[in-house]
Amino acid sequence: MTPNRRDVLTFAATAATAVTVGTTRPFAAERRAALEDDRGDELPAYSQWLTLDDGGLEFTSVDWASLETYVEGELETILDDDTDVPAEYDADPMIALPSDGMLSAYFFVGLDLVEYGLARLLEEDAFESTIEGLVQLNEAFVVTGTIEPAEIDDRLTAEPELEFIRRMERTDEIGEYDVYTPVEGESDAAIAVGGDALVIDTGGGRTDEATDENDPVTILQRTIGASEGNVERATDESEAFEWLVESAGRGDVVVGQYGDPSDTNADSTFEALEDAEGLVSSLTVEDEETSTGDFAAIVAEPNEDALEELLGASADEQSVDIDGDRVTATATWREVD
């Protein structure tokens, strides 16, 4: 099936896909090619932030520098459309999973950071800091780019103009990062500010009893420690997870899950993937008319027929390969008028 532009934008509005057609600026492809030349066989940069939490993790990585123009110019204008999700997109994990991850990361910044005065962080004219990437983890959120620490300090520590804004103060340091925690109320949030990244734990969704292990500052220490090589990264701890990232972890939007299926939020909609030990799926804008996807999963006793019907089913071209318990797939979508 070849989607037209309106169908894809409709899905973007309702299921968060911002990269199923290549309507972003040409710079994205040029930037990606430069990154490919520079990194060689290295793992993608976002993987430095990933750690295994009790043997499992879920993550989303968004190359904001490549997608910014599309998201700002197209996605925001159609979010109010009252339209249905085309079933072929909703049923294809190679679109649905990255799309859901994209929207989750985008709205974390726009909604969850409102109370800290950082909700407009992704707006080009609202901050001097330049945002390049977003990485959403189990317990933390990372914003990468060229950060102006003094500017962020001003926003976090300013006297609140609205009742729901929480004022922060600098209370600690983690390496070259300054750590901010709430001036009043519970110490249920922390933000680390460095020249290359913001690392955020806002306590959102924390339902377990507070302990030293899930204390916000401890979570920031663990996340920053991984990025600096002082804490074991997920790709070092697990060969299987490293394979997933190497096989499908490069793209404009990348999502992944790893660990016991009963301990993760793996999408049970996709029956053929219910028993997956882990998976990674990515979407990439190649040019103004073409997008591609890569997928990798580790599945005990994979059902070849079911996976071939599922992975990339909405694409113009698809390929599925199974080697033992290791599943890989590629897909290509082309826009037509």
Q: pTM of the predicted model, to two decimals?
A: 0.87
Is the model's pLDDT at 207 over the cut of 80? no
90: helix, coil or strand? helix
Instruction: Name the one residue in this structure whose structure tokens are 């989607």.
Output: 3
Supply the pLDDT for residue 146: 97
Half-sphere exposure of 141 toward its Cβ, with a 13 Å CA cutoff? 22
Supply the pLDDT for residue 30: 54
Instruction: Give the dihedral of Cα atoms 183, 184, 190, 194; nearest 10 deg.
Output: -10
Instruction: State what percent of residues in the chain have pLDDT above 90.
Output: 61
Supply the pLDDT for residue 8: 42
N residues, the chain: 337
Is the model's pLDDT at 72 over the cut of 80? no
Q: Give the tens place of pLDDT for each residue, 269-313.
A: 799 999 999 999 999 988 778 889 999 999 999 999 999 999 999
> What number is the average pLDDT over the span 72-101?
72
Q: Give the tens place of pLDDT for each residue, 22-33.
A: 444 444 445 455
Instruction: State what percent of residues in the chain have pLDDT above 70.
Output: 76
> What number is the average pLDDT over the span 232-245?
97
Supply the pLDDT for residue 19: 45
User: Could you tell me if 142 and 223 are in contact, meaning their C-beta atoms sit under 8 angstroms apart?
Assistant: yes
- Residue 135 has φ and ψ, to the nearest 5°, of -135, 115
The model's confidence at residue 187, banded by pLDDT at 50, 70 and 90, is confident
The model's confidence at residue 89, banded by pLDDT at 50, 70 and 90, is confident
Residue-averaged pLDDT of the chain? 83
The model's confidence at residue 180, banded by pLDDT at 50, 70 and 90, is very high
DSSP string, 117-141: T-TTTT-TTT-SSEEEEEEE-SS-E
Is the model's pLDDT at 172 over the cut of 80? yes
> What number is the average pLDDT over the span 246-256?
97
> What number is the average pLDDT over the span 9-18?
40
